[in-house]
Structure 1
Amino acid sequence: MRLTFVGKDPESNPTGSPTVYRTDRGSWVVQGWVVNDSQALAQMNIPAGETCVEIPDRMLQFLQQSQA
């Protein structure tokens, strides 16, 4: 999989997270904060091999950019 950097949270300092990438497979990769809130996780059905990350609303602008 080849990743193309799309955008980084402008308020992330110094960690550089969250970050959004576009793949060469027609999908997105999102780097974000680990969700470890047990109540939130209990509301989701996350299969083996998957995970979830949290990103702030301000990151949505990067997903709305033109697709490669």
Structure 2
Amino acid sequence: MELTPLVGMACHGSGCPTVYTTEGTDLVVQGYIVPDQRGAGEVPEGETLVRIPLQLLVAAMRKLPADG
């Protein structure tokens, strides 16, 4: 799977929260692992909850094509 950065956060180090597009119709998000996932219900094996800033999602939505 090839990931193309769509929008990322400006920060002082590497590994900042980022939203990527794939060659298909999916988005991939990189964020901070939520340390206490107890209140989320069942999180399937192979998945985790990540926290990303709201303004990053808003910026990502603005960059997506209108027909996507």
Shared fold by TM > 0.5? yes
Structure 1 position 9, deviation (Å)? 0.6
Alpha-carbon distance in 2 for matches of 1:49, 1:19: 20
Structure 1 position 4, deviation (Å)? 1.1
Alpha-carbon distance in 2 for matches of 1:6, 1:66: 8
Following superposition, which runs of at least 4 residues in structure 1 exceed 6 angstroms of deviation?
none
Structure 2: give runs of 5+ residues left out of the alignment: none
Q: One-letter code of the match for 1:54? A: R
Q: CA RMSD in A?
A: 1.7
Residue identity over aligned pairs, in percent, reads 36
TM-score, with length taken from structure 2:
0.78
**Count of residues in correspondence between the two structures:** 64
Residues 34 and 24 (structure 1), Cα distance of their counterparts in 2 relative to 1, 3 Å cut:
same
Equivalent residue, structure 2, for 1:64: 62
Helix, strand or coil: the match of 1:48?
A: coil
What whole-Å deviation, never above 9, does each CA across 1:6-26 have from its counterpart, x for those lacking one? 11113x222341011001121
Q: Is 1:42 matched with 2:38?
A: yes
Alpha-carbon distance in 2 for matches of 1:9, 1:36: 21
